[in-house]
Structure 1
Amino acid sequence: MACQKNLLYLVVVGVALSLELVSVSLAVPQLRSQSPEVSGVTLVSKKPRRRLRFKIPGIRASMGRGMHGRQWCIKGNKPLTALIPNNNVATTVSANPTLFWYVPQTEAKSAEFVIFDPDRDREVYKTTLALEEIPGVVKLSLPKAVSLETGKEYVWQLALICNPEKPEEQDYLRGMIERTQLSSDQKTKLADAIEPLKQAEVYAGAGIWLETLIVLSQLRHERPNDSNVNDAWKELLESVELEAIATEPLIECCRVAH
């Protein structure tokens, strides 16, 4: 009888323990793996910007890029450099475009700029510039009185006046500029390009050099810390083998000297 009681007691205790374990296991919360969420924010993957490259049009160059003579008053290793493609032709759709050069450290205080019409054997425009805050990339916008003809090629020259008493002592560059026009398809693409960087891509793809430079230079001035803008400027210059000056600053030079 005692054995039966002991056996019954053990069975009751075992059942009680089993029920207690079940109760504990049911009390443990079920853990779920949770991914981080941002309340009210939709994350959208940004499409990478396409690398900017300039499409050089099929224009035959009649001289080497930025052809220049002996250096008389330039200091340092970087030469006076025209921001033009390596076919030496700066294309534009404007009657009075803006041109760009890199002017290194120099003893010259002024420079002379001339545009020449080789067909008519005459000067189209001539001015003297005061050089200030160099070295850096400088620009010159032609006045509205100048009107380049579409489909015509002009020769320009920029000369640093090293010694006013000796005109032959000049550091100079020569290149060509041609006014062209956009096709109807290119005009449509440009009209659809709301973002300035996209406009630069359209001009570059159409082989319009100066307008590509103008758009990007304006963006560099307005958004100097924008990596997309700075990368696009660098990519454009590298695409025409001007990587040596791709990181040079844009400076507000040069005013026309009266």
Structure 2
Amino acid sequence: MTTDNKKSWHKLWHTRVLTSCILSGILGVTQTALAGYKPPKDQKPPSGYSDSSGVRGRCRTISEQSLRLLAPVTHVGQTTSTHPTFAWVASDNEPIPIEFSLYEFDSNLKPKKLDSYTQTFPSSSSLMKRSLSKDLPGLTVGKRYLWQVQILCNPNRPSRHPIARAEIKVVPAPLTLVNNLATTDDPSLKANLYGRYGMWYDAIKEALPFTTKEGIGQTLTDLVASLAQLENPVETDKLLNIALINKE
């Protein structure tokens, strides 16, 4: 990650007025270049199993800012992928076990845990991501799911484990999106297209810093900034905590 991009992340973290930040050039791009996220036109509110207050629970050694999802929390995020990618930030310095789990909603919006997708692994003080293994059955198009990240910081007091949740729905890709995607191999442009069509999880997958190709870091910044503008003030601060990410 370049020095200029690092400064941009930290400036974003220290301000609440995102719109003025973008207009003043803190992000270093023009409005026309902003790979923004637009929520689905038929966006749905989250169920009672995932609320917009964010992290639940707290261990004594874990800060309130230790766990933040890179995902919509005030509405159900969408994806066209049956094996989507999920991302979050665990900013504590010490490696602590983290559990990722996935739940499927039934027709009454009651979640059932899908044990085969549960994974436990050590945390890191940077952006973390998990993609559903291609060895497992894919998610079902048209169905809604809840995903959860839990920090296992106190096995004797599991009720205090910080838990963050968000909801996701797998939807068919619009034909116009498919046609537009076929015209480019550039991850930044693909992220922009997915974001424009309200496919958050596809957009973030393309924008995540898994490659050193130029422009990826800025695309991720733009996506998160545009999502933060849509969330309430509390969630804005939580999303902008990704300023702590070391993307090198």
Is the TM value for this pair above 0.5? Answer: yes
Matches within 5 A, 1:2-41: none
Amino acid at match of 2:34: R
Cα distance in 2 between the residues matched to 1:234 and 1:94: 22
Q: Is the 8 A contact 2:148 2:163 kept in 1?
A: yes
Greater shift, 141-150 or 56-65, is seen at 56-65
Task: Provide the residue aligned with 2:44 in structure 1.
Answer: 60
CA distance in 2: counterparts of 1:230 and 1:121, whole angstroms:
35
User: What is the distance in 2 between the residues matched to 1:165 and 1:158?
Assistant: 18
How many aligned positions are there? 199
Partner Cα distance (1:155, 1:221) in 2: 24
Give yes or no for contact 1:78–1:104 (8 Å, CA) kept in 2: yes
C-alpha distance in 2, partners of 1:186/1:128? 32
Whole-angstrom distance in 2 between the partners of 1:105 and 1:129: 17
Q: Following the alignment from structure 1 to structure 2, what is the Cα–Cα distance between the partners of residues 239 and 193?
A: 23
Whichever residue aligns with residue 199 of structure 2, its letter is I
Change beyond 3 A, Cα 1:250–1:139: farther
Q: Please give the secondary structure, in 2, of the residue aligned with 1:192.
A: coil
5+ long unaligned stretches in structure 2? 1-29, 229-238
Aligned residues of 1:234 and 1:246 also touching (Cα < 8 A): no
Q: Distance in 2 between matches of 1:74 and 1:118?
A: 33
Match among 182, 185, 202 for residue 194 of structure 1: 185
Paired residue type of 1:52: A
Residues 113 and 221 from structure 1, CA distance in 2 versus in 1: closer, same or farther, beyond 3 angstroms?
closer
Cα distance in 2, alignment partners of residues 250 and 191 from structure 1: 29
The C-alpha deviation readout for 1:137-188, integer Å capped at 9, x for no partner, is 1001112313211111111221111112332231111111111121111111
Superposition CA RMSD, Å: 2.5
Q: Which amino acid aligns with 1:234?
A: T
Amino acid across the alignment from 2:211 = E
Partner of 1:4: none
* Map of 1:243 onto structure 2: 240
Cα distance in structure 1, aligned partners of 2:63 and 2:155: 22
The separation in 2 between residues aligned to 1:150 and 1:114, in whole angstroms, is 19
CA shift for structure 1 position 191: 0.6
Residue identity matched to 2:171: T
Measure the CA separation in 2 of the matches of 1:68 and 1:244.
Answer: 13
Contact 2:73–2:167, Cα closer than 8 Å, also in 1: no
Name the counterpart of 2:81. 94
Distance 1:111 1:94 in 2: 24
Residues 91 and 179 of structure 1 are in contact (CA less than 8 Å); yes or no, is this contact kept in structure 2? yes
Match of 2:153 in 1: 162
Establish whether residue 221 from structure 1 lines up as the match of residue 221 from structure 2.
no
AA partner of residue 244 (structure 1): N
Q: Is the 8 A contact 2:88 2:128 kept in 1?
A: yes
Q: Percent identity?
A: 22
Question: What letter corresponds to residue 182 of structure 1 in structure 2?
Answer: A
State the shift of 1:65 in Å.
3.6
Point out the more displaced range, 85-94 or 208-217: 85-94
Aligned mates of 1:167, 1:196 — CA distance in 2: 39
User: Are positions 1:79 and 2:69 aligned together?
Assistant: no
Contact 1:72 1:162 in 2 (8 A): yes
Provide the C-alpha distance between the structure 1 equivalents of 2:35 and 2:142, rounded to a whole number of angstroms. 26
8 Å Cα contact 2:66/2:92 also seen in 1: no
Contact 2:84-2:131 within 8 A present in 1 as well = yes
Quick check: 1:122 aligned with 2:106? no
The one of the two structures with greater contact order (alpha-carbon pairs below 8 A, sep at least 6) is: 2
The 8 Å contact of residues 157 and 173 in structure 1, kept in 2 or not, is answered as yes
Distance (Å, rounded) in 2 between the aligned partners of 1:117 and 1:221: 28
Deviates more, 1:166-175 or 1:65-74: 65-74
Cα drift, residue 73 of structure 1: 4.6
Aligned to 1:26: none
Give, in whole Å, the separation in 2 of the partners of 1:162 and 1:202: 39
Q: State yes or no: 1:180 paired with 2:171.
A: yes
What runs of 5+ residues in structure 1 fail to find an aligned partner? 1-47, 252-258
Please say if residues 114 and 127 of structure 1, whose CA atoms lie closer than 8 Å, have aligned partners that are also in contact: yes
